[in-house]
Structure 1
Amino acid sequence: MKNHLKTIITGIFMVSLAAAGCKKSFLDQTPEASLAGNNFYQTETDFKQAVNGAYSSLREMGSVNYWLFGEMRSDNTYYQYNPSDRGYEQREFIDQFLVGATAEPLSSYWQQNYTAIARSNEIIFRIADKPIAEELKKQYTGEALFLRAFNYFNLVRQYGGVPLRLEPTNSPDEAQSKGRASIDEVYAQIITDLNAAAELLPAKYPVAEAGRATAGAARTVLGKVYLTQKKYTEALTEFRKVQGLGYALMAKYADVFSPANKNNSESIFEIQYLGAQPALASNFMYQFAPWNSLSIVTGDAGTTLGGGNGWNVPTQDMIDAYEPGDLRKDISLAVGFTDLSGKFQPNPYVKKYNHGFVDRGRTDDNFPLLRYADVLLMIAECLNEQGFAANGEAFSLLNQIRERAQLKPKTAGNADPVLRVETQEAFRQALLQERRVELAFENHRWYDLVRAGKAVEVMNAHGKKEMVGKITVPAGSYQVNAAKLLLPIPQREINLDNLTQNPQ
């Protein structure tokens, strides 16, 4: 078994090198070799390659762990049981709230975040005294600060307090951490990094560099951090700044996710994938396709489906969450497929990232992490928490999102009781519902439930539905309490770094 401390010691100095021409996108680079950090960080090109390496962990996490921990832990999705391939049982345990500290996905998620943090630390530490252009120095430092903060935000929301590693590790003696920082200490560092990043990063990049973290991305995450802490005034301040940066909703919901519209006007930050290159391609369409659908869902007759498919399956509760006439439903999910015999198979799947394949097993879809629609709904949340105002700006923002989905507005005093919202609490519920369907399968639902204080209640109710008539669900599943809102710290980190475990 690889141990994480060894990974830190030997891997923290490693940087992905890239073969990139001057006209290529920053993503269009394939790792070729690695060099020790002490010798590597010298030129502008070195630092650009180092920053690109820090982004690469996003692609790794986006492939599985983002949706595994952001959607499948929620009531939005579950999994299609595969009796012939039981090699992914730990994913099922995450959905069922049965996961133990030795589970591979826990360690994988922990390592992916800390790998990005380690790479970011190298850049932040080494760039200050290097003779490169000042504007590039600001940009690369800002990107590294953003990525460090973003990954700590992932960690603190899933594990609670975690070790704060803010400098490169230069020797085995430095590999062990000082132990778990408090949740407040982690958030304080995240806020410090994001404030600095927002000042250093540009609002926009040339087309060839699109997809890098911007000032808008830093301020959006900063606002989300404040919102998570229920600091509504501070959150609103950041979101208002994002409003002034030129983002706009796409006219059509489907266009937001089309590979033809990557990094569009509504996109604030998305994980970049390139279907044309095997190492940089995405494959969400395949993972979400029912394992018994052959090539009917993917259209790819050359790729066999099995245990790696049938994940992130929309629950019936998710399917029922859409109002009649909501055009987002058919764009986001399908309730099943028709097999080769003409029989309909009621196996739901996510359609939002189903845009065909570039080559066998490879797609060109990016994964959205931050969208302007999310910002508008978070502004509405801040305004409502500061004080309910019947048919005020918060209503206008909510209804702006609903209008694109071709739904009628929700208002105070509405003659239709389904559309009537008369109180602050009713608006909270309307907003949580709108976020669920607008941001479905974009890994927001779990965090929204926790922030709203609804996770225990909702997930226990969800569990009761999931247990009905399913002999494949282990006893004790979906027994959710406050302690289970945090994941166990990976056991090897407990053993090797002398960390305290989260109560379960």
Structure 2
Amino acid sequence: MKNQSKYISIALLILASSISGCKKDFLNQAPESSLTDANFWKTESDLKQGVNGAYSSLRGLGTFSFWLFGEMRSDNTTFQYNAPQRGQENREQVDQFLANSANTLLQDFWRDTYTSIFRCNDVLDKVNNIPMSAASKAQSIGEVKFLRAYHYFNLVRQFGGVPLRLEVTKAPADAPSKGRATVENVYTQIIADLTEAGNSLPDASAYPAADKGRVSKGSTNALLGEVYMTLKRFSEALIALRKVTGYTLMPTYSSIFLTTNKNNSESVFEIQYYATAGTNLSSNFMYQFAPFNSGTVVTQDPGTNLSFTSGWNTPTTDLISSYEAGDLRKDVSLAEGFTGTAGFVAVPYIKKYNQGFVQPGQTNVNFPIIRYADVMLMIAECLNEQGFTAGGEAFNLLNAIRTRAGLPSKTSGNPVATLNVNSQAAFRDAIYQERKVELAFENHRWFDLVRTGKAVEVMNAHGQREIAKAPAQYPSGAYVLTQNKILLPIPQREVILDNLNQNPQ
């Protein structure tokens, strides 16, 4: 009976969540949840609201789970130890590779991701019953298939094989999954969804102003390229990435993240946030990432007090030391501390998303998922994997990123040892280094470490350096990463209620 109640709740959640979104501008309207399946899904406008509801679920994941599991598990960030407030150990455990299947944050991540998938499935279930043009129908299908693929890509990289839920849950009997699909089958579905989406979505430039920020052909091919790279299918990745056209680097690194430059020429896909009164559409990154003891110095918001929800995703010493002298990205991305009433306090924090507030506690800063700089570096990596060419296109792409950062080019045979890249292995290292600093705090680092096979080596060495700073703060077993622990444990609630096999830890 407990299982059946759980699945009834899921079915009701799907029904309610499928109709959130907006009627006019999908970027800045509050979700609507008072409608039901019986009186909704009648018109093209209804369908668009359903599609917008699928987008809206990204906001909650973006403000917490994505950076917790995508950046804090890496050597880029950690947390500010809060001795007076010892109530957030579940977050600390994720950073330290101590999270077990009972950790509530794992359950939140799993639940919120599948809620997002359910919204996509709801649209796909209803789209063919609504009178609309073939082009509009194809676009709607393409948008939600991209989103579904993106969510499954996150799940398979974090948990391995997961249940493939591709149909709407209409009755309690439909709620139990068929168990965990294989990793191969999950990737097959991701590729199928992205391939179809790429064939039906327009270019970003084709969207009117009110729809700016929706997924496009470019964002679909960029994600498909990353999927193929994760599978080490570099030739196919390169084909997909070459199709990402119509984008350019912003002239300066700092201009990318300004709220006045949302969805700019470098933006391939980003999560949309708006600090609109009376809605729940805002972001809050700068508050979570500010040191908890910084008062209003970092946020400049006198109306918001910082507490145990601040001091997270803190830049590590390893990352700070990774920046070359003169790298313009460092000051844009982070600060090594703040100046309070007692002087300078050496607690680093992320500056990249610190773009001011609109209302107390609310910002309208978007979060980048894919930037064109990322695409350029992926193309360069694919080219190098096909064969090292001194001075070839891969070098041009790498050095275009470095030039914007104010750094000298890396070349083969360069007399400066740190700039000399004279082999395929050396170019790999150059790309990995550039991705680490160029894409810092954009949730790429952990996935890069895993797909390149460097996670265990890098994170264990990093962990020892972290522990050495204050050994008494760390519990036994902290920062010991094994191959088994690369995958997160399946939330225990799901193991029990859906009869899933657990990941070995």
The two structures have a TM-score, normalised by structure 2, of: 0.97
CA distance in 2, matches of 1:140, 1:95: 37
2:283 matched to which residue of 1?
282
Q: 2:242 aligns with which of 237, 240, 243?
A: 240
Whether the 8 Å contact between 2:484 and 2:504 is mirrored in structure 1 is yes
Q: Given residue 175 of structure 1, which amino acid in structure 2 is its aligned partner? A: A
Q: Given residue 10 of structure 1, which amino acid in structure 2 is its aligned partner? A: L
1:347 matched to which residue of 2?
347
Q: Deviations over 1:137-195 (max 9, x none)?
A: 11111111111111000100000000001110110011000000000000000000000
- Determine helix, strand or coil for the equivalent of 2:418: coil
CA RMSD of aligned residues (A): 1.4
1:126 matched to which residue of 2?
126
- Determine helix, strand or coil for the equivalent of 1:12: helix
1:224 matched to which residue of 2?
226
1:319 matched to which residue of 2?
320
Q: Given residue 329 of structure 1, which amino acid in structure 2 is its aligned partner? A: K
1:74 matched to which residue of 2?
74
Q: Which segments of 5 or more consecutive residues in structure 2 lack a partner in the other structure?
A: none
After superposing the two structures, state which structure 1 stretch, 320-329 or 112-121, moved more.
112-121
Q: Does 1:10 align with 2:12?
A: yes
Mapping 1:357-396, distance limit 5 Å: 357-396=357-396
1:471 matched to which residue of 2?
472
CA distance in 2, matches of 1:39, 1:200: 28
Q: CA deviation at 1:39?
A: 4.2
Q: CA deviation at 1:44?
A: 0.7
CA distance in 1, matches of 2:87, 2:34: 32
- Determine helix, strand or coil for the equivalent of 2:15: coil
Q: CA deviation at 1:135?
A: 1.9
Whether the 8 Å contact between 2:203 and 2:218 is mirrored in structure 1 is yes
Q: Does 1:401 align with 2:401?
A: yes
Q: Given residue 496 of structure 1, which amino acid in structure 2 is its aligned partner? A: L
Q: CA deviation at 1:424?
A: 0.7
Q: CA deviation at 1:279?
A: 0.7
CA distance in 2, matches of 1:151, 1:31: 20
Q: Given residue 242 of structure 2, which amino acid in structure 1 is its aligned partner? A: R
Sequence identity (%): 56
Q: CA deviation at 1:15?
A: 3.7
Q: CA deviation at 1:438?
A: 0.3
Whether the 8 Å contact between 1:332 and 1:350 is mirrored in structure 2 is yes
1:86 matched to which residue of 2?
86
Q: 1:4 to 1:91 in 2, by over 3 A?
A: farther
Q: Does 1:268 align with 2:284?
A: no
Q: Given residue 197 of structure 1, which amino acid in structure 2 is its aligned partner? A: A
CA distance in 2, matches of 1:339, 1:15: 44
1:309 matched to which residue of 2?
310
Q: CA deviation at 1:285?
A: 0.5
Q: Does 1:209 align with 2:211?
A: yes
Q: CA deviation at 1:386?
A: 0.6
Q: CA deviation at 1:34?
A: 3.2
CA distance in 2, matches of 1:280, 1:141: 24
Q: CA deviation at 1:18?
A: 6.1
CA distance in 2, matches of 1:202, 1:19: 21
1:497 matched to which residue of 2?
498
2:454 matched to which residue of 1?
454
Q: 1:21 to 1:166 in 2, by over 3 A?
A: closer
- Determine helix, strand or coil for the equivalent of 2:78: strand
The number of residues matched between the two structures is 499
Q: Deviations over 1:201-255 (max 9, x none)?
A: 111211111111111111111110000000000000000011xx21000001011
Q: CA deviation at 1:45?
A: 1.1
CA distance in 2, matches of 1:135, 1:143: 12
CA distance in 2, matches of 1:120, 1:169: 12
CA distance in 1, matches of 2:303, 2:15: 39
CA distance in 2, matches of 1:18, 1:111: 17
Whether the 8 Å contact between 1:288 and 1:309 is mirrored in structure 2 is yes
Q: Deviations over 1:232-290 (max 9, x none)?
A: 00000000011xx2100000101111000000000000000002344111100000000
CA distance in 1, matches of 2:22, 2:464: 52
Q: 1:124 to 1:394 in 2, by over 3 A?
A: same
Q: Deviations over 1:122-146 (max 9, x none)?
A: 1112111321122211111111111
Q: 1:131 to 1:157 in 2, by over 3 A?
A: same
Mapping 1:15-94, distance limit 5 Å: 15=17, 17=19, 20=22, 22=24, 25-37=25-37, 39-94=39-94
- Determine helix, strand or coil for the equivalent of 1:384: helix
Q: Which segments of 5 or more consecutive residues in structure 1 lack a partner in the other structure?
A: none
Q: 1:407 to 1:12 in 2, by over 3 A?
A: same
Q: Does 1:95 align with 2:99?
A: no
Q: Given residue 221 of structure 1, which amino acid in structure 2 is its aligned partner? A: L
Whether the 8 Å contact between 1:17 and 1:30 is mirrored in structure 2 is no
Q: CA deviation at 1:19?
A: 8.2
Q: Deviations over 1:416-461 (max 9, x none)?
A: 0010011111111110000000000000000000011000000000
- Determine helix, strand or coil for the equivalent of 1:280: coil
CA distance in 2, matches of 1:84, 1:37: 49
Q: 1:320 to 1:7 in 2, by over 3 A?
A: farther
Q: Deviations over 1:58-82 (max 9, x none)?
A: 1000111111011100000000011
Whether the 8 Å contact between 1:4 and 1:111 is mirrored in structure 2 is no
1:293 matched to which residue of 2?
294
- Determine helix, strand or coil for the equivalent of 2:369: strand
Q: CA deviation at 1:8?
A: 2.1
- Determine helix, strand or coil for the equivalent of 2:384: helix
Q: CA deviation at 1:398?
A: 0.4
